[in-house]
Amino acid sequence: MELFEPGDHLVVESDLYGGSIRLFDNVSKKNHYEFTFLDCSNEDVEGAIRENTKAIYIETPTNPMMNVSDISYIAGIAKKYHLLLIVDNTFLSPYFQNPLELGADIVIHSGTKFLGGHNDTLAGFVVTNNEEIKERLRFLIKTTGAGLSPFDSWLLLRGIKTLGIRMEKSQENAIQIAAWLKQQSCVKNVYYPGLPEHPGYEIMKKQARGFQRINVAAPRKIITECLERIRGIL
Ligand SMILES: Cc1ncc(COP(=O)(O)O)c(C=O)c1O
C-alpha cells in the first residue's frame, strides 16, 4: 500500500483472504485510499475504473470461495489504463501459476503455507519483473523493517526445495477429496476449480497447471536442472 498516495483508488476483488480485507478496510481507508470491491471473475472490472484508479488487486483462485479470474484479460485492462495489476498467488504457488508471465506487475505470496511447507515460519513474498517497482519496494522494505530474518530465510529456502513434490501430492489428494465430497448426499456444493462444472474450470486450464493429472513434466524439468547444476560443479 506504500506504493500509493492518499486519494488513490484501487479496484479490488471482493472475495479475498480476510487479512487483505482488514488491511484495506481498517488501515488503508483511514489513510484516505479508496476501494471498489467487486467479483472480478464475472463483474465489470473496466467499468469500476475511475480517474484516480492506480491498481487492480485480485486473488485467483480466491480464498475462500475459489472464484477464478482471467489474469491475462484483467492484465489487458490494467495496461490499457496504465494501472498496476497485483495478484495474490498464494493458493496455487509459483509451481502451478505464474501471473507475471500473464501480464501482472506485482505478485504476492504468503510464504507461511506452501512455500515454507513445514509450519515453522511466517513470511511473505512480493515479486515483480519491473525494475522501478523493484527499487521502490526494496527501499520500502529496507526502511520499514519488513525484511525477513536470516534464519526464516533459510527455513524458506529449505521449504522451497520440496515445493514441487508437495504440490504434486497436494493436487493429487485434492482432486480425490473433491470427487469424494461430490458423492456425499449431505454435501450441497463442492467449490473446487479442478472440477469441470466449476465456472472457472476453463480459465484454470488456460492459465494454471495441476488438478487434472500428475504433472510429470514439471518435476522432470526440476530434476534435469539439478543434474545440470551438479554436472557444472563437478
Ligand atoms: C490468499 C492468502 N493470501 C495471504 C495470506 C496471508 O498469509 P500469512 O499467514 O503468511 O500472513 C493468506 C492466509 O490465509 C491467504 O489465504
Cα 68 to middle of ligand 1, angstroms: 17
Residue nearest to atom 4 of ligand 1 (CA): 110
Q: DSSP E strands: which ranges in 150-204?
A: none
Residue 107: which residues within 8 A CB-CB, separation 6 or more?
A: 86, 87, 88, 89, 99, 100, 125, 126, 127, 128
Same domain? For 113 and 128 the reply is: yes
Which of 111, 130, 157 corresponds to the end of one domain? 157
Residue whose grid cell is 488513490: 8
196 three-state secondary structure: coil
87 lies in the same domain as 15: yes
Q: Ligand 1 atom 7: the closest Cα is on which residue?
A: 110
Residues 185 and 72 in one domain: no
pLDDT in tens, 137-185: 999 999 999 899 999 999 999 999 999 999 999 999 999 999 999 999 9
Model confidence pLDDT, tens digit, residues 94-129: 999 999 999 999 999 999 999 999 999 999 999 999
Distance between CA atoms of 122 and 52, rounded to whole angstroms?
34
For residue 64, what are the domain limits? 9-157
CB 113 within 8 A of CB 89: no
Going from the C-alpha of 148 to that of each of 29, 91, 154, 183, the distances in angstroms are 27, 21, 10, 44
